[in-house]
Structure 1
Amino acid sequence: MFDRKINRILVTLILTFGLVYLIYLTRFIFEPVSAYLAAIAVPIIGAGIIFYVTNPLVDWLEKKKIARIWGTLIVFFLILLVLALFVLFIAPTVQGQFTNFTDSVPKMVDSTEKIIDMWQERQFIIPQQVEDTINNILDQLGNSADVITAGIINTIGQVFSFVFSFFLIPFFLFFMLKDGHKFVPFITKFLKPTQATSFKKLTSEVNNTLSSFIQGQFIVSICVGTMLYIGYLIIDLNYSLSLALFGLVMNFIPFIGPFLSAVPAVIVGFFQDPIIALWAIAVMVVAQQIESNFISPNIMGRALSLHPLTVITLILAAGGIAGFLGVLFIIPAYAVVKTVIAHFYDEWKKRQPEDDTPIL
């Protein structure tokens, strides 16, 4: 019995590696397919995220005897209303703050140079290595305006390259909200009863995993962004709205996101007034303590049950491969893969004879 189990595992591994190698050899065949998938990935992922945020409202309206099509249209109206309010009231402020920030970069560089000069005047001798490091930092700061400008141009180019894809998001979202509940029954019609049961269980587990993460993280991020904005207003931090929105987006990245969002706030606060930089750190610490001890446990709990080291490793790998979008999407993607593997492993265990001798 032990030998048969070992043989099954070895055969499975050999077939798996053989399949992967075959796909590698014939990868040119899949290039058109991969290009097509890359083209529709952005609208599908974007629509999927909005779907998990808005679908509970459509379900609630359906329970109130409102047809699903009308519930979907109501959700679209609310989305358009939120976008209109953002464009009218928030976007102009953010644009003005961003323009002021780019204009103030040269002043920040001058202030840094003055601080370094004052420090040099008070020192009798500076080690050559330290002096070279300081000069290198000053050179980099001097070029920071050009770097920011180039980054803005590059970002604008990327935005325009995705504009067409984003126009498809409402199309996908409409049919997800209207007909998403029909997907599982449609697929199960072509499956055997046992397969249909397994498929329903799998889709339910994946749906629960994604909804727990996306809905919970959305609510938590809104709460954190609001707390940061109120705190930044209290300490009179410049660019408070833009920095709070940045903190809101970064909070979607577990563990690392809050630290990343603190960096620009502390830098801006330091050049405004070193005391304000300390207050910015205090605001961030208070917001994160409230989030981690009160908000997240009640909203998200331990929905994904991921170890912090696993999260950090995934984020670093995804950032190196796919950039910022990879960092945002790697955690829910990993959670889905983990759920799928766990499901099929449980199904495999159920098919094993009860008297099998365990491998370990």
Structure 2
Amino acid sequence: MFKLNNFIRICVAIVLVMAIIYLGSLVDFLFKPILSLITIITIPLMLSAFFYYLLRPLVNMMERKKINRSLAILLIYLVFGIVLVGFILGVWPSLRSQLLNLVNNAPSLFASLNNQLQELERSEFLSNFFPKDVSPSTQVTNFLTQGFSFLTNYVTGLFSVISDITVIMFIFPIILFYMLKESGDFGRAIVRITPKRFHEEMAKVIAEIDRSLSNFIVGRVLINLALGVLMYFGFLIIGLPYALLLTVIAFIMNFIPFIGAILSSIPIVIIGLIESPSVAIWSLIVILVAQQIQDNLIAPYIFGKQLAIHPITTIVLVMVGGDLAGILGVLLIIPIYMIIKIIVVRVYEIFFKRSWENI
């Protein structure tokens, strides 16, 4: 009877929650200003959280050196400003030159790609792998068309999200400053609003979430930097054109779980194929070797087993995140999954583990 009463109460609670959601949907005009505000601050909050976990160890170290926390943050901002100026003066001209060169030479590059594909199509070795009525060049062209359409849609969606770049660049440093200055206050505030008997458990949950997000973000940046360095030197060795530009694209795309590595490899192999089939093969070898070093040597050393997520789980999460919220969903789905997993495990241990195991 006791179990039946608990089941009935849970069912009633679920029905009430669904009723509240339904009634809320009938007066959605009341929530549009809130949704608009959330849309505006989403990108600044993402950037602030990202740089918060990157810079917090440095701020904490400077505070231990008896430097005022606010002054430490301002000094870091100053250093970042100097680094940004150095990037604009030193790296950006080369990067911009390669980008403009790639855009201006796009017609001739596609013509060269078509010629290379036709040469491969006439190859007896390659013809053995395709039926006679199948044209590899046609298949690749169709694939590239679909790929460019996919990338165009995502880039368009991304630009629509960050269209108000002025607002973002104004809000982001302010939010980041207060997050770094008041580090830990948000977690303590969450603990205080929970019932006293759960303060200790809630503090553990907040600490575990904080540690997991910190390890994930800092680890991802370090891994992507290592991958970028390996790929860049590999591309220089094999003589791949636009090596710096392609490495920067790969570095950024690899922040997208699983599919980022695949998407970033496509333009690299295409540029290599335009140069020659051998360069395409070597560029693919460089990518595979760099990713194997990343996955088997660097990632286990940085992450350990704390953030081990099964590849199938990652694929499913990325697909769900992309379907729900596009590029933002893809970027946020893994951290959200980690947070939910920690909360669910802790709730199970507190409320259900003992009673369920004694059944």
Do Structure 1 and Structure 2 share a fold, with TM-score over 0.5? yes
Bigger mean CA deviation after superposition, 194-203 or 111-120: 111-120
Q: How does 1:139-154 map to 2 (within 5 A)?
A: none
Q: Which runs of 5+ in 2 are unaligned?
A: 125-129
Same amino acid, percent of matched pairs: 31
- Other-structure match for 2:325: 322
Q: How does 1:246-261 map to 2 (within 5 A)?
A: 246-261=249-264
Alignment partners' CA distance in 1, 2:356 and 2:233: 62
Measure how far apart 1:234 and its partner are. 1.0
Alignment partners' CA distance in 2, 1:349 and 1:127: 59
The letter for the 2-side match of 1:46 is L
Alignment partners' CA distance in 1, 2:312 and 2:352: 28
- Other-structure match for 2:231: 228
Alignment partners' CA distance in 1, 2:140 and 2:236: 31
Alignment partners' CA distance in 2, 1:287 and 1:122: 30
Aligned to 2:304, what secondary structure does the other structure show?
coil
Aligned to 2:241, what secondary structure does the other structure show?
coil
- Other-structure match for 1:59: 60
Measure how far apart 1:166 and its partner are. 2.6
Measure how far apart 1:337 and its partner are. 2.2
Bigger mean CA deviation after superposition, 102-111 or 113-122: 113-122
* CA RMSD, Structure 1 to Structure 2 (Å): 3.5
Contact map agreement 1:109 1:142 (CA 8 A) in 2: no
The letter for the 2-side match of 1:73 is L
| Pair 137,279 (structure 1): closer, same or farther in 2 beyond 3 Å | closer
Alignment partners' CA distance in 2, 1:274 and 1:5: 67
Q: How does 1:256-271 map to 2 (within 5 A)?
A: 256-271=259-274
- Other-structure match for 2:27: 26
The letter for the 2-side match of 1:345 is Y
Alignment partners' CA distance in 2, 1:173 and 1:117: 53
Measure how far apart 1:128 and its partner are. 11
- Other-structure match for 1:272: 275
- Other-structure match for 1:70: 71
Contact map agreement 1:42 1:166 (CA 8 A) in 2: no
Alignment partners' CA distance in 2, 1:41 and 1:118: 49
Please state if 1:11 is matched with 2:12: yes
Q: How does 1:1-360 map to 2 (within 5 A)?
A: 1-115=2-116, 130=134, 159-349=162-352, 354=355, 358=359
Alignment partners' CA distance in 2, 1:153 and 1:357: 55
Contact map agreement 1:72 1:177 (CA 8 A) in 2: yes
Bigger mean CA deviation after superposition, 281-290 or 319-328: 319-328
Using structure 1 for the length normalisation, give the TM-score.
0.84
Measure how far apart 1:20 and its partner are. 3.0
| Pair 250,341 (structure 1): closer, same or farther in 2 beyond 3 Å | same
The letter for the 2-side match of 1:108 is L
The letter for the 2-side match of 1:22 is L
The letter for the 2-side match of 1:326 is G
Measure how far apart 1:54 and its partner are. 0.5
Alignment partners' CA distance in 2, 1:9 and 1:146: 47
Alignment partners' CA distance in 2, 1:90 and 1:300: 30
Bigger mean CA deviation after superposition, 114-123 or 22-31: 114-123
Alignment partners' CA distance in 2, 1:192 and 1:273: 67
Aligned to 2:298, what secondary structure does the other structure show?
helix
Deviations 1:267-288 (A, max 9, x none): 1000011111111111111111
Measure how far apart 1:160 and its partner are. 4.2
Measure how far apart 1:98 and its partner are. 1.0
The letter for the 2-side match of 1:278 is I
- Other-structure match for 2:127: none
Using structure 2 for the length normalisation, give the TM-score.
0.85
Measure how far apart 1:343 and its partner are. 2.7
| Pair 3,121 (structure 1): closer, same or farther in 2 beyond 3 Å | closer
Contact map agreement 2:257 2:314 (CA 8 A) in 1: yes
Alignment partners' CA distance in 1, 2:85 and 2:11: 59
- Give the number of equivalent residue pairs: 353
| Pair 7,335 (structure 1): closer, same or farther in 2 beyond 3 Å | same
Contact map agreement 1:238 1:268 (CA 8 A) in 2: yes
Contact map agreement 1:2 1:357 (CA 8 A) in 2: no
Contact map agreement 1:97 1:239 (CA 8 A) in 2: yes
Contact map agreement 1:235 1:280 (CA 8 A) in 2: yes
Contact map agreement 1:106 1:145 (CA 8 A) in 2: no
Measure how far apart 1:260 and its partner are. 2.0
Measure how far apart 1:341 and its partner are. 2.6
| Pair 108,357 (structure 1): closer, same or farther in 2 beyond 3 Å | same
